[in-house]
Amino acid sequence: MNKMMKAAQISRYSKVIEAQVNEVRVPDIGDNDVLIKVKTAAINPLEMLIMTGSVKLIQDYAFPLTIGNELAGVVEQVGKHVTGYSVGDDVYTRLPIEKIGAIAEYVAVDASAIARMPKNLSYEEAAAVALTGLTAYQGLHEELNVQSGQSVFIPGGSGSFGQMAVPLAKSLGLTVIVSGNAESRERTLKLGADQYLDYTTQNYEDVLKNVDYVIDTLGPTEFKKELSILKRGGRLLSLRTGPNKRFAKDRQLPFWKQTIFSMAGAKYDRMAKKHDVEYRFIFVRANGVQLKEITSVVEANQVVPALHPKRFTIDEVNEALQLVATGRPKGKVIITF
């Protein structure tokens, strides 16, 4: 295939959040890959971390780099060792972190990273589910290793992460407590949250104590407060605060990276230890098997993610990136093809 396609790319790491739309060749596929004709791609805060080079110690990229981490689309071509998918299937994926590039007209991806789209979702909605769904799934199962009957608190859980984390946590038998804005209260309770705190009128550290787990979506400023409500032996998992020694060890990173991350996370590890709590950081990875389980939860609970009302084209990618970087999108920001 020597066809050309449009792709949103960067040529270097930069503090300026800006991509160029370039004409590049449609990728060739390997024996284990599928070629997806992209219908929709979602933009996440992760894009900013990648574009500025903030995560280059975790994953460094070659340039030019096509950006974008999650998408939904149609299988256009199937590698010769691929079973279970055929041309015309509707699929969605969080692309493997070492091989991103969702904001393009076509993407070649290993079939082990994809899953069939939930039947109750449109392409726009499906693109908004993969990354947060996998983050919630891996956080609950692998990092927290939750058991039925335990409690989890998600500060800032009224956003796109909470939309996936709440039904997943409920399906595992947890008591789920969320804090967020007043507007999202009904929607979050409907998804199965047991308790909802309006952060403008209630301070969660005055209300909660002896919680088993906290999944932090807000970052370092909340760290002390989050520790204070956990029971001894509890776990605090952050999507934002930053990597530590355990993160580097679990990922079997080279020794020099383990040293850097140990130093970077030392302050948080010390604070956690003082409370007899374990601190963990998550950086989500692609996994088609887990995505299939997420599909089941989405279909069973009729989860429909909130989307920002405006749809962007690839030529408007910078407007979409700015909205996520600086603004307050009213749901997931979606590029449509």
pLDDT tens for 282-321 read 999 999 999 999 999 999 989 999 899 999 999 999 999 9
Question: For position 233, what pLDDT does the model report?
Answer: 97
- Preceding peptide of 64 cis, ω within 30°: yes
For residue 313 the two structure tokens come to 């084209």
Cα radius of gyration (the chain): 20
- pLDDT lower than 50: segments of the chain: none
- Preceding peptide of 243 cis, ω within 30°: no
Tokens 């800032």 label which residue?
Answer: 156
Distances (CA, A) of 8 to 101, 171, 174, 267: 8, 37, 40, 37
**Rounded (5°) CA angle 221-225-229:** 150
Strands 333-336, 33-43: pairing is: antiparallel
Estimate to the nearest angstrom the gap between the alpha carbon of 285 and the chain centroid.
9
Question: For position 327, what pLDDT does the model report?
Answer: 73
pLDDT tens for 96-128 read 999 999 999 999 999 999 999 999 999 999 999
CA distance 299 to 73: 18
Question: For position 159, what pLDDT does the model report?
Answer: 84
Question: For position 75, what pLDDT does the model report?
Answer: 98
Question: For position 1, what pLDDT does the model report?
Answer: 55
Query: Kind and range of the H or E element at 44?
Result: none
pLDDT tens for 5-24 read 999 999 999 999 999 999 99
How many CA atoms does the CB half-sphere of 308 hold within 13 Å?
20
pTM of the model: 0.94
CA distance 65 to 118: 29
CA distance 188 to 166: 8
> Pick from 104, 123, 101, 105: which is nearest to 113 by CA?
101
CA distance 285 to 55: 14
Give yes or no for a contact between 152 and 177, defined as CB atoms under 8 angstroms apart. yes
